[in-house]
Structure 1
Amino acid sequence: MLTRLREQIWADWIWFPEGHGWADLTDHDGKVFPKIQDLWAIIPIALCFLVIRQIFERTVALPLASLMGIHDKQRVHAPTNPALESYFCRTSKHPAQSSIASLSQETGCSMRQVQRWFRRRRNQDRPSKLKKFKEASWRFTFYLLAFFGGLAVLIDKPWFYEMKLMWEDFPKMPLLPSQYWYYMIELGFYISLLFSVASDIKRKDFKEQIVHHVATIFLIGFSWLVNYIRAGTLIMLVHDASDYLMEAAKMFNYAGWRKTCNFIFTVFAAVFIFTRLFILPFYIIHTTLVYPQTLYRPFLGFYFFNGLMLVLQCLHIFWSLLILRMVVKFLPGNDIVEDERSDKDETESEDEAEAHGDGEKLKNGHVQNGHALLNNNHSKAD
C-alpha cells in the first residue's frame, strides 16, 4: 500500500511535462543529475553554520561592535513581584488601564508604579543593541559572500543573459559542481535560520519571515528535485542582491552613523525594489510561469513551483511598503533610519538614574520605595 502511494505521489505526470519523467534524471555518460538523497547534505551544513556563527559573533562581530562604539546598555530591571509577573506572562505585556487599576489594588502599588514595572519588564525581554548588531553582521557577511559567489557561478552562463534558455533541453540539463555547492550552501543557511529562530530577534514581521523561510526552502528544494536548477540559481541571486545592503544599513544604524546608514539604506531600497518588484516578476517569474506554457502543457509541478513564487512575490510587496514608509520617514528630516520591524526600548528618565541606585523593591505585593524619584508625581517620563 505504501509502495503504491509512493508511486502515485512521485508519478511522472505530476512533476514533469508530458513525455518526460524521473528517468530523464538518471546519471549517464558521465553526466550527473540532482537526486533527492543529495539534500541530506544540508543538515550537516546547517549545523556547521550554527557553529560558525557562534565563532564569528565572538571573534569578529564583537570586536567590530566595540570598534564602532556599540556596547550593551545597562537597563533597570523590574523588581520581583509574583502577581505582576504572572499577569505579564499569562495575560498581557501591555495591560489596559482598567487592568492596571486592578493590579494596583491587588499589589498595593500605585498605578504609576505598576505602569513603570510593566515598562521595565518589557524592556528586559527586548534584545540589546549589541545582540542586534552581531546578528546583522553575521547575515551581512553571509549574504555578501553568497551574492558574489552566486554571481561567479552564473556570470558565464548563457541563461543569465537570456533567461528563456533555462528551459533548453529541460529536464535533461546536467548538474554542474558549482550549482551543487551553491544550492547546498543556500539551503543549509536557510535551514540554520529555522534552527536558530528561537534565539534570534523576533521582529514585527516574525510570521512573514517564517513563511518566507519555509517557502524559500520548499522552493529551492523542489527546484532541485525536478531540475529547475537554472531558475533556482537566478532566484537565489536576485534575493541575495539586496539583503546584504539591508544588514549593512542596520549595522551602521546601531552604531549611530546616521549619514552612512541613510545612504546605504537608500541604495538598498533602490536595489530591493528593482530586483524584487521588476526583475523577479517581469523576467524570472514570467519565464517560469508564462513562457513554459508555449513549450509544454501545464502540469501539477508547474503550478506548485509558481505558486511558491507568487507567495514570495506577495511578501516582497509587503516588505516594499515597509521600506518605502521608512524612506519617507527619514528623507525630510534627515533622521536615522529605524527598522520598522523592530521593537524599541521604552525609556524613562528616572530609569537611567536608577541604574546606579537601589530603586524600588516590590516584594509579595508590597512596595518598599528606596529612591526619591519614584515618588515624583510630576515626572515627565510618566
Structure 2
Amino acid sequence: MDLLPDVWRQDFWLPSGVTWMDMDQLADADRPRPLDLLIALPLALGFVALRYLFDRYLAPPMGRCLGVKKRLQVTPAPSPKLESFYTQRSRQPTQSEIVSLMSLCGKTQRQIETWFRLRRNQDRPCQTKKFGEAAWRFFFYLTAFTAGLVCLIDTPWFWDRRECWRGYPVQPMETTHYWYYMLELGFYGSLLLRISVDIKRKDFKEQVIHHLATIFLLSFSYCVNYIRIGTLVMLLHDSSDILLESAKMFNYGSGWRRTCDTLFIVFAVVFLVTRLVVFPSKIIHTTLVLSMEVFEPFVGYYFFNVLLMVLQALHIFWAGLILRMVYKFLKGKLEKDERSDEESEDVEDEEDSKGEEVNKDQGGDYCWEKSKDTLNSKLSVLTNSCVLNNLTNHRASIADRMRKAQ
C-alpha cells in the first residue's frame, strides 16, 4: 500500500482508524479494487456499438409501429458565401450582418432570412432520431432498474439504511452488485462518448454535469466500498427515467397523445417524489447523518456528499421545468417537453416555413409576389366593375336616343 500515489492516501478516503489493509480481510473476489474500473471503458465502447445496431435495426420498425414520421426537409439554394458565414460565424445573423450579406450576395433581406431558416431546419434532428435515442435509453433504464431491483430486494440495506454502514469497510461485494455498478458506469461513459453526435438539448450543460457527477460518484463509491449506498442511488434514479423516456417515445408517435399525457403525469409524480423527497430524506440523510454513527467526518465523506448535493441541485433545476410543464398541461397549452426534449436551437415555425416553401420560388421574394397577386386581383375586380358600368351607361344612352327618334 505504500506504493499508492498520494491521491489514494487512506486518511483522505477512509475514516479515522480504518486503513486499506482492513480491506485485506475480504477475499479478492469480494473486494472492490480501483483497477476494476478499467473495464468500464470497453463496456462504454460496447454500449456505443449496441446503440448503433439498435438505431439501425430495432428503432425504425418500433417507430413505424407508433406512427413516427420523418419530417420532410427542403434544402436551401446553394450559396457558398452564406454557407461560409453559417458554418464559421453564426447560425442566426443579426440585422447589421444581414445588411452586409445583402450587399455581398446580391439578395434581399427576405431571401437571406429564408435561407438561414431553411439551413437551420436542415440541421435540426428528425423525429426518427429523437425516437431512437428515447427508445434506447428506455430499454436500458428498464433493464437496469429491473436487474437492480432483483439483486437488491433481498439485501438488508434495502430495508434498513443503517446496514449501509454496519461493518464498514469490511463489507463483501457480491458479483451481481459488481456488474450492476460496471454496467451503469459503462452506460454513462457511452453517453459522454456520444455527446457530440446525440441531440443537443437546451439542458445540455446540466446533462453533461449530471453525467460527470454520476461517473465520479460511481467511481469513488466503488473504490472506497460505498457500494451499498451507491446501488440505492442508481436504483432510485432509474425508476423515474423509465417513465420519462417512455413518454417521449409516445410523444414522437402520432395518435398517442392520451398515452403520452398519462405517462407524463405519472413521471412527474414519481420524479418529484423520488428526487425531491426520497433522495434528500433517505439517501442524503443516510450519508450525512446515519454514517456518523459509525465513523467521524473525513475528506472522502465530504467529497461523496458534495457529489450528492450536485445531483440534488440538478434535481431541483429539472423539477422547476417539470412543474412548469404541469402548469401548462393543466392549462391545456402543453406542446413539448421543457425538461430535455427541445433542441438548444430556437425552433422555427415549421408550418410557416412549409407554406413559404410551397408557395414561392427560393430565388424570388415571396412577400412581393403575394402582394402583387393581391394587387392584381383587386385591379381585376376594379376593371370588371368599370367595364360593367360603361356597358350599362352605353345601353342607357342608346335607349334614350331611340325614344327621342320615335
TM-score w.r.t. structure 1 length?
0.90
Aligned equivalent of 2:369: 376
Task: Give the CA deviation at 1:350.
Answer: 6.5
Aligned equivalent of 1:237: 235
Aligned equivalent of 2:269: 270
- Do 1:143 and 1:240's aligned partners in 2 also have CA atoms closer than 8 Å? yes
Q: Does 1:80 align with 2:78?
A: yes
Write the distance in 2 (CA, Å) between the matches of 1:272 and 1:140: 15
Task: Give the CA deviation at 1:100.
Answer: 1.8
Alignment of 1:195-344 (within 5 A): 195-256=193-254, 257-333=256-332, 335-341=334-340, 342-343=342-343
Write the distance in 2 (CA, Å) between the matches of 1:65 and 1:4: 56
Write the distance in 2 (CA, Å) between the matches of 1:171 and 1:377: 77
- Do 2:250 and 2:257's aligned partners in 1 also have CA atoms closer than 8 Å? yes
Aligned equivalent of 1:171: 169
Change (3 A) 1:207 1:178: same
Write the distance in 2 (CA, Å) between the matches of 1:336 and 1:357: 27
- Say which SS state the counterpart of residue 237 (structure 2) adopts: helix
- Say which SS state the counterpart of residue 348 (structure 2) adopts: coil
- Do 1:249 and 1:264's aligned partners in 2 also have CA atoms closer than 8 Å? yes
Deviations 1:190-234 (A, max 9, x none): 011111111100001111111100110000010000000001000
Change (3 A) 1:295 1:273: same
Q: Does 1:108 align with 2:110?
A: no
- Say which SS state the counterpart of residue 15 (structure 2) adopts: coil
Bigger share in helix: 2
- Read off the aligned partner of 2:369 and give its amino acid letter: N
Write the distance in 2 (CA, Å) between the matches of 1:272 and 1:64: 26
Change (3 A) 1:78 1:340: farther
Write the distance in 2 (CA, Å) between the matches of 1:202 and 1:332: 28
Task: Give the CA deviation at 1:355.
Answer: 6.2
- Read off the aligned partner of 2:106 and give its amino acid letter: G
- Do 2:69 and 2:253's aligned partners in 1 also have CA atoms closer than 8 Å? no
Aligned equivalent of 1:148: 146
Change (3 A) 1:152 1:109: same
- Read off the aligned partner of 2:348 and give its amino acid letter: E
Task: Give the CA deviation at 1:377.
Answer: 5.3
Bigger shift: 30-39 or 335-344? Answer: 335-344
Aligned equivalent of 1:352: 354
Change (3 A) 1:306 1:117: same
Bigger shift: 6-15 or 105-114? Answer: 6-15
Alignment of 1:8-23 (within 5 A): 8-23=6-21
- Do 1:350 and 1:373's aligned partners in 2 also have CA atoms closer than 8 Å? no
Write the distance in 1 (CA, Å) between the matches of 2:350 and 2:146: 45
Structure having the higher Rg: 2
- Do 1:250 and 1:261's aligned partners in 2 also have CA atoms closer than 8 Å? yes
- Read off the aligned partner of 2:205 and give its amino acid letter: K
- Unpaired segments ≥5 residues, structure 1: 361-367
- Unpaired segments ≥5 residues, structure 2: 373-406
Deviations 1:351-370 (A, max 9, x none): 4367679942xxxxxxx44x
Task: Give the CA deviation at 1:4.
Answer: 8.0
- Do 1:253 and 1:261's aligned partners in 2 also have CA atoms closer than 8 Å? yes
Change (3 A) 1:110 1:30: closer
Percent sequence identity is: 47
Write the distance in 1 (CA, Å) between the matches of 2:92 and 2:69: 28
Change (3 A) 1:319 1:297: same
Write the distance in 2 (CA, Å) between the matches of 1:161 and 1:378: 73
Task: Give the CA deviation at 1:340.
Answer: 4.4
- Do 1:15 and 1:299's aligned partners in 2 also have CA atoms closer than 8 Å? yes
TM-score w.r.t. structure 2 length?
0.85
Aligned pair count reads 368
